[in-house]
């Protein structure tokens, strides 16, 4: 059974993107094993602590390596992706064999889907910049993406309700990711 690793770009417990990920998990059902990456203990990338690799980095690299595919669910922060998500991707872009930039990284060639729930732009700017970054670090970003413009009333209730059309977009994305 394939392993799909979810990365949530929001640290907030009731985040719309966590709710979006939960909906995707329901859509995937028993077609794949879904795991969520906990990267809350990841230190900021700093060459002074890069080697030997910190324990959270080793754990995350192992988890990424064992996944068949990755699905990122992220909000848009100031026209881009959240800083903690960028930090994670910076760590993943570093060579697994210290200073050997000719060897692949743990994210090299990984199939990645991107979805996001946010303001009026439906995370379009974040998803575009994230696609650019992931492509640069040699991940395989799927062209199918889902962007959700969170309705105004949801901002007061912290409850994301998806339309049938949005659920269909997520299902199409899940189908492509699982392959």
In this structure, of 17-31, 76-90, 99-113, 125-139, the range with the lowest mean pLDDT score is 99-113
Q: What's the pLDDT score for residue 154?
A: 95
Whether the pLDDT of residue 102 is over 90: the answer is no
Average pLDDT on 10-39 reads 97
Say if residue 52 is exposed, middle or buried (CB neighbours under 10 Å; 0-12, 13-18, 19+). Answer: exposed
pLDDT band at 100 (very low <50, low <70, confident <90, very high): confident
Average pLDDT on 66-82 reads 97
In the Cβ-directed half-sphere of 49, how many Cα atoms lie within 13 Å?
11
**CB-based contact 163:134 (threshold 8 Å):** no
The pair of three-digit structure tokens given for residue 2, joined into one six-digit string: 């394939």
Model pLDDT for residues 104-139, shown as the tens digit of each residue? 899 999 999 999 999 999 999 999 999 999 999 999
The pair of three-digit structure tokens given for residue 107, joined into one six-digit string: 């994210």
pTM over 0.95: yes
Q: What's the pLDDT score for residue 46?
A: 95
Q: What's the pLDDT score for residue 82?
A: 97
Average pLDDT on 84-100 reads 92
Domains along the sequence of the chain with CATH: 3-178 (3.40.50.360)
> Directed axis angle between helix 55-66 and helix 83-92, to 10°?
80
**CB-based contact 7:72 (threshold 8 Å):** yes
């Amino acid at each position: 059974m394939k392993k799909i690793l979810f990365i949530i770009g929001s640290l907030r417990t009731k985040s719309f993107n966590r709710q979006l990920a939960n909906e995707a998990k329901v859509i995937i059902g028993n077609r794949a094993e879904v795991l969520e990456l906990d990267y809350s203990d990841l230190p900021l990338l700093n060459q002074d602590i890069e080697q030997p690799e910190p324990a959270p980095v080793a754990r995350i690299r192992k988890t990424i390596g064992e996944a068949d595919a990755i699905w990122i669910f992220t909000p848009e922060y100031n026209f881009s992706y959240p800083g903690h998500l960028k930090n994670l991707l910076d760590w993943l872009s570093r060579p697994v064999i210290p200073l050997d930039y000719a060897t692949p990284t743990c994210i090299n060639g990984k199939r990645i889907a991107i979805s996001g729930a946010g303001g009026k732009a439906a995370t379009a700017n974040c998803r575009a910049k994230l696609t650019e970054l992931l492509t640069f670090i040699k991940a395989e970003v799927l062209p199918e993406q889902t962007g959700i413009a969170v309705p105004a009333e949801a901002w007061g209730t912290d409850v994301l309700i998806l339309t049938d059309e949005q659920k269909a977009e997520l299902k199409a994305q899940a189908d492509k990711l699982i392959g």
